Amino acid sequence: MSTPRILVCDDEPHIVHVVSTKLRNGGFEVMTAADGEEALNAAMQYKPDLVITDYQMPYLSGLELCVKLRADPETQAIPVIMLTARGFSLGEDDLKDTSIQKVLPKPFSPREVLRSVQAILETKVPLENAAR
């Protein structure tokens, strides 16, 4: 099995840096994006196994990005972890049309991000196999 690919998207370079460093050290292949639009293009192009995105970003918010990913058959199966300082403002309705599997509030722990990524990818693989 090839190394899972993670797309990390945040307009804060430090966050992108710390998350990608943690994931790379954890054995994942990481690509980054600085805003929602860039992330959408990257997701369409590279079909990552998982997307980690910030909620509040310029041009396209994290939630808008997730809705767009979900709407496209090519990307709708990609699970998403949302990093947000506004976890409280995400309700059931917001998550309904997305593939957001976990919301991690800021300040977050890179350890927890890594653990969540691993957990989601572990459950995702057998599901995909079962579907096939």
Residues that bind other proteins (CB under 8 A): 11-12, 14-15, 17-19, 21-22, 25, 56, 58-59, 85-86, 89, 106-111
Looking only at the bridges linking them, the beta strands covering 29-33 and 100-105 are unpaired
Give the closest residue to 84 by CA, choosing from 4, 21, 25, 9: 9
CB of 79 to other proteins, least distance (A): 21
Burial-class residue 41 by CB neighbours within 10 Å (0-12, 13-18, 19+). exposed
Cβ at position 31, least distance to other proteins in Å: 19
Q: How far is the CB of 15 from other proteins (least distance, A)?
A: 6
Query: C-beta of 90: minimal distance to other proteins in Å?
Result: 13
| CA 90 to chain centroid | 16
Q: Which is nearer to other proteins, 10 or 49 (CB)?
A: 10
Distance between CA 20 and CA 115 in Å, rounded? 14
Pick 76 or 89: Cβ nearer other proteins: 89
Decide whether 3 or 89 has the Cβ nearer to other proteins: 89
Helical packing angle, 110-131 and 13-25, nearest 10°: 60
41 vs 123, beta carbon nearer other proteins: 41
